[in-house]
Amino acid sequence: MQTIFLSSVFILPLSSAGQPISELEKECNLKKYSSCGILGSRYYLGEVVRQDKTKAISLYLKSCDGGYLPGCNDLGLVYIKGNNVGQDYVKAHELFQKACNGGDAWGCGNLGTMYDNGFGVREDNFKAVELFQKSCKGGYPLGCSNLGTMFQYGEGVRKDNSKALEFYGKACDLKEAEGCVNYTNLKNQVVR
């Protein structure tokens, strides 16, 4: 059963919602690397600015190099998808690892997905479970949902539907639709 990736690129901090592009650019130039990452997301999505994925990649790189871990995660996703760069699983792994090592739950979850699916690494469900646990503990909803999947299908852990329901439920509580759907489907199977 394959687990899935999710990008922090689609989740801009609420504090930046009304922040003008000119202000983000100024802050980025002053080495406020979170602003570089947020600006990268705006350019990647074409939100309030004309979409420019090349510029977004440059801003993600600047934010990651400056220590803003969500920027590392987002740049890793660009390399996974091969958007405006050649698809490069080795580079994506390196970026997700950097994010995860720094405590970014999204980076841990995406690294876990690489191990679960064997993207650029030898498939290792035990390592995937470890990373999904770290990700879920850090509050990444899809990490919880992916962990539920591992328990439901007995991949890297002993099959345990009650644990699967626990993690799907946690994902659902964190507003992850996939977790809610999986919870409902498994609950209906268990009740039968």
- The confidence band for 8, taking pLDDT boundaries of 50, 70 and 90, is very low
pLDDT of 67 higher than 80: yes
Residue 11 has pLDDT above 50, yes or no: no
Spell out the domains of the chain, with CATH numbers in brackets.
Answer: 123-192 (1.25.40.10)
> pLDDT above 90 covers what percent of the chain?
84
pLDDT reported for residue 6 = 54
Q: Which residue has the higher pLDDT, 155 or 13?
A: 155
SS (H, E, C) the chain: CCCCCCCHHHCCCHHHCCCCHHHHHHHHHCCCHHHHHHHHHHHHHCCCCCCCHHHHHHHHHHHHHCCCHHHHHHHHHHHHHCCCCCCCHHHHHHHHHHHHHCCCHHHHHHHHHHHHHCCCCCCCHHHHHHHHHHHHHCCCHHHHHHHHHHHHHCCCCCCCHHHHHHHHHHHHHCCCHHHHHHHHHHHHHHHC
pLDDT at site 47: 87
Q: What is the pLDDT of residue 3?
A: 62
What mean pLDDT do residues 164-181 have?
Answer: 96
Quote the pTM value: 0.89
On whether the CB atoms of residues 37 and 63 are closer than 8 A, the answer is yes
Q: What is the pLDDT of residues 101-114, one digit of tens each?
A: 999 999 999 999 99
Amino acid at 63: S
* pLDDT (average), residues 80-96: 93
For position 10, what pLDDT does the model report?
39
Q: Which of 83-87, 93-97, 139-143, 153-157 has the lowest mean pLDDT?
A: 83-87
pLDDT of 127 over the 50 cut: yes
Q: Which residue has the higher pLDDT, 182 or 1?
A: 182
